[in-house]
Chains A and B, each alone.
Chain A
Amino acid sequence: MELIWEGLRKALELLLRLDPEVLGITLLSLKVSGIATLLSVALGLGLAVLVALNDFPGKRLVIALMNTGMGLPPVVVGLFVTVLLWRNGPFGFLGILYTPAAIILAQSVIATPIIAGLGLAALQHLPPGLRLQILSLGATRSQMVWLLLKEARLPLLAAVMAGFGGVISEVGASIMVGGNLKGSTRVLTTATVMETSRGNFEIAFALSFILLVLAFTVNALLTHLQQRSGRR
């Protein structure tokens, strides 16, 4: 118990002192997971809209794959991305392994199916006649898609939160493709793992608290957005 309180005290101290290393790690976590979430929103929602609005052979299989993708283990993603970005791998020429870009890539692979799967469910939950109703009001195809997304905004924002929550908290992929390099690819989760393994429980707790506060803040912002739009 004492360790936890000590960790909380340490976290406050590090934050109030604006410890450059901790601040850097925190900002990198936010940046990497934020960009990965945005990329996943674009890709995942795009995919959800395509699948929701079109009938094609194998649609059920695609949906099953999307839903399976929601549970992708981060270490498996980390392994695949590492192999792909490896010096001799197919994308080795990019030279991004052990850079933040590699973490963004891996986290996007993790978050995209989550946002696509939950987004598809949100769109499929809309009344079946709504698409035709919107078209009959004179909407173009893109106006129709926009209105459908707007109607599904509550569950869609929940999907975005789930996606962000999934990547800000994952450690397996970040450590494999990022390498936990000090000052370059060290994020809150990988730093916590490292400090714990070294027995620096106070710092580990401090980093964990910061991570929790960060996750809470971002989700609180998204929740505010969600509930405000829901009241209209």
Chain B
Amino acid sequence: MTRATLLQVRNLKVHRGGAQVLEIPALDLRAGEVLALMGPNGAGKSTLMLTLAGLLPPSEGDLQFGQTILHTRADREVFRRRMTMVFQDPLLFDTTVAQNIASGLKLRGMPAAERKPRVADWAGRLGIEGLLNRSARQLSGGEAQRTALARAFVLQPEILFLDEPFSALDAHAREGLINDLGHILAQTGTTAVISTHDQAEAARLAHRLAVMQEGRIVQIGGLREVMNHPEDPFVAAFVGMETLLKGRVVAGREGLISLRIGKDPASDREVVALGEAQPGQMVLVGVRPEHVSLSLQTDNTSSARNAFVGAVTKVIPRGPFFKVELDCGFFLSAYVTAQSLSELGLEPGRPVVASFKATSVHLIRKEGLDSQL
């Protein structure tokens, strides 16, 4: 998908209190895409977002919107009317829902008669048309965030910035809102940047994913690419690749590699993966828990190249799934449904067979890997 670049930054640096908190050599936001920023607290997601939104002047570097480089405060002020931002806290004004939704239009001097149909339209699209005359103080968390989103979308922003918009909501409100936001983003084709802690949220809304750590973007790429092919252990852990094992290549031919897992040289646990590698090379072997299936005995009809007998060590509820941790001579984690859990009788100590395809094995090969492990 080739799309025009809408916003680009080059050599961006932000200092705060003498310390550098953000360094982004280059970042392009393409028209119509949804870019998710993920990373732990303090990774610089919010700082990057505020800078991209023109709300925080960079210490160094340029922000270019379309063909215009935003040099001055006046440039940024013009840009600010073409984008908008929704924060974790809905930050509604102490007035009615309708007045809140209309506030950005009012700031632009739009007459009341023109504002009204637009406000009604967006209230409807976010399912709050019944609350228009309600005071913003009387809203639930979900209703308040819907009002904040309507207040943003009614401006028809060229870029919408969403700074952890669902983090403060309960699971039920969050679920509905992510759904609705996904529909609206797809319908309107709005270019958006969303920051989140939650990989599931990113997976449902974003086209591209950038993982941040300590003020830098560690990896950026297509959603599936980053999720399934993290380039380093930090990204792997952050995007939910829960099994990460140190392995040594023992053989490689015809696009298949055999890897010996674990530090013990006598270990007979071999994992088969796709790719090319030299025997003796050290790599990290990653497997996403949703790619591991569990059964009670080895299934010869399965196409999975890797099958290991192990024992359940832990069962952890994870939303609609259960995470099962196994000891197969090495650590392995798998997601199962509640039904599988009871059918297989999974509980600590239970012996099971864990299998996954060679295509599900992701190898991280990086300079200096040994020192990171």
Contact = CB atoms under 8 A, between A and B. Distances in A.
B315 to A, nearest CB: 40
Contact of A133 (B77, B91, B135): B91
B91 A130 contact: yes
Given A136-B80, A138-B108, A127 B91 contact: yes
B155 interface: yes
Contact of A138 (B50, B89, B96, B104): B104
Contact of A136 (B83, B89, B135): B83
Nearest to B85: A136
Interface in B62-92: 77, 80-81, 83-85, 87, 89, 91
A162 interface: no
A49 B83 CA distance: 26
Contacts of A129: 87, 89, 91
A136 B96 CA distance: 20
B155 A138 contact: yes
A61 B93 CA distance: 31
A184 interface: no
B83 A232 contact: no
B50 A232 contact: no
Q: Which of B53, B91, B108 has the most CB of A within 10 A?
A: B91
A6 interface: no
Interface string A221-232: 000000000101
Given A140-B77, A147-B93, A232-B94, A133 B87 contact: yes
B151 interface: yes
Given A132-B50, A232-B96, A232-B135, A138 B84 contact: yes
B85 A138 contact: no
B107 A136 contact: no
A135 B91 CA distance: 12
A213 to B, nearest CB: 32
B91 A139 contact: no
Chain A contact residues, majority secondary structure: helix
Chain B contact residues, majority secondary structure: mixed
Contacts of B81: 138
A138 B107 contact: yes
Nearest to B92: A133
A119 to B, nearest CB: 17
Contacts of B85: 132-133, 136
Nearest to A133: B91
A137 B94 contact: no
Q: Which of A137, A143, A151, A230 has the most CB of B within 10 A?
A: A137
Given A133-B91, A232-B135, A139 B53 contact: no
B87 A137 contact: no
Given A136-B80, A138-B107, A138-B155, A232 B89 contact: no
Contacts of A232: 94-96, 135
Contact of A137 (B77, B84, B95, B96): B84
A129 B163 CA distance: 11
B244 to A, nearest CB: 36
A136 B104 CA distance: 9
A133 B165 CA distance: 13
Given A129-B89, A232-B96, A137 B53 contact: no
Contacts of A140: 77, 107
A150 B81 CA distance: 21
Interface in A151-179: 151
B151 A137 contact: yes
A80 to B, nearest CB: 39
Given A143-B107, A147-B103, 14 more contacts: A127-B89, A127-B91, A129-B87, A129-B91, A132-B85, A133-B85, A136-B80, A137-B104, A137-B107, A137-B155, A138-B81, A139-B107, A140-B77, A232-B94
A50 B284 CA distance: 55
A214 B118 CA distance: 48
Nearest to B88: A129
B166 interface: no
A123 to B, nearest CB: 14
